Amino acid sequence: MQRTIFNTPIVTPVLRLLARVLLKLHGWRVKADQQSLKLKQYVLIGAPHTTNWDGYYFILAALKLKMTPQWMGKDKLFTFPLGVPMRWFGGIAVDRTKANNLVDATARQFKLRKELVIAIPPEGTRSITERWKTGFYHIARSAKVPVVLGFIDFPKKEVGIGPIAQFGENLEAELIKLKEFYADKIGKFPELYTPPCQPQP
C-alpha cells in the first residue's frame, strides 16, 4: 500500500487534528454525503477550480473526512528530487509510453486496487476555457466506477464531498446535470470558472 499524507501511521492522525484546527481558524465547514464516503472506488471531481487554494482546502477536508484520495501524473513528474514528496501527496506515476493514454492507465489502476479514489479537477486549469475536459467521465466508464462530486464554495466557506453521479452514455446530458449541481458553487475567482458545458442554443 502506498503511504501518503492521508494514511501514514503516527503522522496522519496528527495532520487530521491539525486540519480540524486550521478549518476552524479559517472559518470553513466540511460537508459530506455519507453514501459517497462509504465507497471504496470512485473518481472524485473537484470544482470550481480557480486558485491553488482549492487544493489546500480539499486536502484539509480529506484529512478531516479520513479519505485517501490520489491523483495520476506523468512519470516525468516523479523523478528525483520531487518523486518522494509527489508520491506522499498521493501521486501515482504513469508511464504513458506503455499505455494508449492516461484514461486507460488510470482505469487499469482501479483493476489493480480494491480501494482507490482518484481526484481530478475537470477544468484542467485555473484559467477560463471553453468547457470541462471529460477524462473523468471516460475513466469512470472504463473502470466501471462511479463519480463523486467534490466541491468548494468560497463565499459560503464550504468544501466537501457531494452526491454520487452514475453516468449513462449520453455525455452531454450528464454535463448539463453537473452544470446544474455546480451552478451555486462559487470559486475564489468566479471569472475564471469554466462550466461543464456551454449554454444550450
Residue 19 backbone dihedrals phi, psi, to 5 degrees = -60, -40
Most distant CA pair in the chain, distance: 55
Cell (9 digits) for 106 = 488510470
Predicted local confidence at residue 91, as pLDDT: 87
CA distances from 46 to 17, 50, 134, 183, 187 (A): 23, 11, 13, 14, 11
Q: pLDDT digit of tens for each residue in the chain (201 aa)?
A: 789 999 999 999 999 999 999 999 999 999 999 999 999 999 999 999 999 899 999 999 999 999 999 987 777 778 878 888 888 988 888 766 654 578 888 898 899 999 999 999 898 766 777 889 898 999 999 999 999 999 999 999 999 999 999 788 888 888 999 999 999 999 999 999 998 987 655
CA distances from 201 to 108, 131, 169, 181, 197 (A): 38, 15, 22, 20, 12
Q: Confirm whether 89 is domain-assigned.
A: yes
Predicted local confidence at residue 124, as pLDDT: 73
Cell (9 digits) for 24 = 476552524
- In angstroms, rounded to a whole number, what is the distance separating the alpha carbons of residues 55 and 59? 6
Predicted local confidence at residue 162, as pLDDT: 96
Q: Confirm whether 197 is domain-assigned.
A: no
Q: Residue 73 carries which side chain, given as an amino acid letter? A: G
Predicted local confidence at residue 12, as pLDDT: 97
Q: Confirm whether 34 is domain-assigned.
A: yes
Q: Where are the alpha helices (DSSP H) in the chain?
A: 11-26, 34-37, 53-64, 83-88, 102-112, 135-143, 171-182
| Domain hosting residue 73, numbered range | 11-192
Cβ pair 105, 96 in contact under 8 A = yes
Q: Confirm whether 200 is domain-assigned.
A: no
SS3 breakdown of the chain: % helix, strand, coil, rounded to 5?
40, 20, 40
Q: Confirm whether 199 is domain-assigned.
A: no
Cβ pair 114, 40 in contact under 8 A = yes
Q: Confirm whether 4 is domain-assigned.
A: no
Q: Confirm whether 157 is domain-assigned.
A: yes
Query: What is the count of structural domains for the chain?
Result: 1
